[in-house]
Each structure stands twice: as C-alpha cells, then as structure tokens.
Chain A
Amino acid sequence: MTENTNKSALLGRRDVLRAAAAGALAIAGSSLFSRHVLATPETAARTLSKLTGGGTAQEGKVFLKLPEIADNGNTVPITISIDSPMTEADYVKAVHVVAEGNPRPDVVTFNLSPSVGKAVISTRMRLRETQNVVVAAVMSDGSVYFTKKMVKVTIGGCGV
C-alpha cells in the first residue's frame, strides 16, 4: 500500500516535469523551432485531397475505433468501419489514412473490391505525437466521406 502511494507521488512529480517540458516546447514551437519537418493539418488536407482526387469530401459514413490515449506511438491500433452495402453497384473503392502530425502525413491506402463484403479494416500505425487521424473513404460513385479523431500519444513513435 505504502509502495503504491510512493509510486503515485513519483508519477505526480514526473507529470509536473512533463508538463513543464511541454510548456517549454510550446514556447519554442512558436518561435524559431517551428515544426517544419512535421505535417500540419493543411499539408494533411492537401495530401488527402490529392489522394481522393480533389473532390469535396463530406463528413460521415466513416467510423473509427482508436484509443483516446495511445501509450505507445509506435503501434497504435486502428479499426475503420465504413457504412456501405459493399455490392457491385455500391461499394468502397479506397480508404486513405492520414496523420496530421507525422513527418509524412500519408499512413496507408487500402484498395477494396465488392468481394470484401464488409468494409471493416484493422491495422496498426505509428504516431509521432498527439494529433488528429483523418480517414477518408472513396465510394464507387466517386463521392468522398471522411472522419477524424484526436489521439493523445504518451510516447511518440520514434523516428516516424
């Protein structure tokens, strides 16, 4: 019991340190050390629009299962489900996963055929830092649907 209390006290101190470090970084980020090597929501949006063919995307139909807090940014599980009947006439053609805060925004593109039957896909990805993950689905009629979700990353995926 005493050990536990000690541990939590220790964690508390670390949290304070971490918060201080984050504050310092934020100040640095606003001046010289801009995150020029990392993608921004704008570059991510550009990448996405290039991937989806530049059409206007609507929010919806895409659902994400992502941890709210990812302890390890090196392997973050993601499950994507898309509301589609997956028939020859109406199916999901492609799914693009984009990370707004990684050095390179593109993560993966899935190409689907009607024989997939059910548009539910799981994989694991790397996330450099706390950021939005954007997933866009291109339907067989050319329409694009997207959704985004914020993931808090405790330890960043090293070198992504």
Chain B
Amino acid sequence: MAVTNPRVKVPETAKKGDIIQIKTLIFHDMETGIRKDKKTGKLIPRMIINKFVCSFNGKEVFSANMHRAIAANPYFAFHARVRESGTFDFTWTDDKGETVKASRKIAVT
C-alpha cells in the first residue's frame, strides 16, 4: 500500500473508567474509481482503504466500512472508555487486501 506511517493520537495515561478521545489519520489518495485519466480517457480503477478497525486488548471497540465518498487521507476521531491498562491496535485495509497497522499503549490508574 502506497501509504506512509499512520498518525494516531491516544493519551498515554488515563483514570479508570475515563472516556478518552482517539484520533487517527492515514495518508492515502482514496482513488474513487470514477475519475478518468485525462490522457487516456480511461477510468482509473478504485483504490481506497475500505476498512478501519480499532481494538483494545484484542477486543474490537470501533470500526468503519468506508466507501468511495470518504475523503482522501481518511481521518477519524472517536472515543473509548478505558477500564484497564493495555494496547490499542489499529488496522487499515485497502482494496488489494494490504494492511497497515499501528498500536499505542495506555496506562490506566
């Protein structure tokens, strides 16, 4: 996947039961598949990230099924309630099935 490192923002610490905000951004053209190549006049095939999953300690918390109308460089901001220390895992999957992963640890007191 022609993407760079995703950017993920998760607080490093939180209190038990807190609701934290998570922000993610990944760099991707999100080719819609209905745009034409100006030189050849042919349609440029669709190439987007179609799935984003966020899980905490192995359990899915939030996910998104994306279609072509999601803007380039998909950005999500959402929340999570944390009850224990652990790791947030983030996975982006594109139309070719290739994935990009990121993870962040959080210490909960």
Contacts and interface: CB of A to CB of B under 8 A. Distances in A.
A109 B79 contact: no
> Which 8 A-B residue pairs are closest in the complex by CB-CB distance?
A117-B81, A159-B35, A117-B19, A124-B71, A122-B77, A75-B71, A118-B79, A107-B69
Contacts, number: 100
Contacts of B35: 158-159
B66 interface: yes
Interface stretch (B1-9, B53-61, B92-100, B101-109): B53-61
Given A115-B81, A116-B78, A117-B80, A110 B69 contact: no
Q: Is the interface of A mostly helix, strand, loop or mixed?
A: mixed
Interface residues of B, number: 28
A75 B77 CA distance: 15
Contacts of A109: 64-65
Interface in B61-90: 61-72, 74-81
A148 interface: no
Interface in A104-157: 104, 106-127, 157
Given A106-B69, A159-B35, A123 B74 contact: yes
Nearest to B66: A108
29 contacts: A75-B71, A102-B69, A104-B69, A107-B69, A108-B64, A108-B66, A108-B70, A109-B65, A110-B62, A110-B64, A110-B78, A111-B65, A113-B59, A113-B62, A116-B79, A117-B81, A118-B19, A118-B79, A121-B76, A121-B77, A122-B77, A123-B70, A124-B71, A126-B71, A157-B69, A157-B71, A159-B32, A160-B32, A160-B34
Given A115-B81, A116-B80, A74 B63 contact: no
B75 A123 contact: yes
A115 B65 CA distance: 19
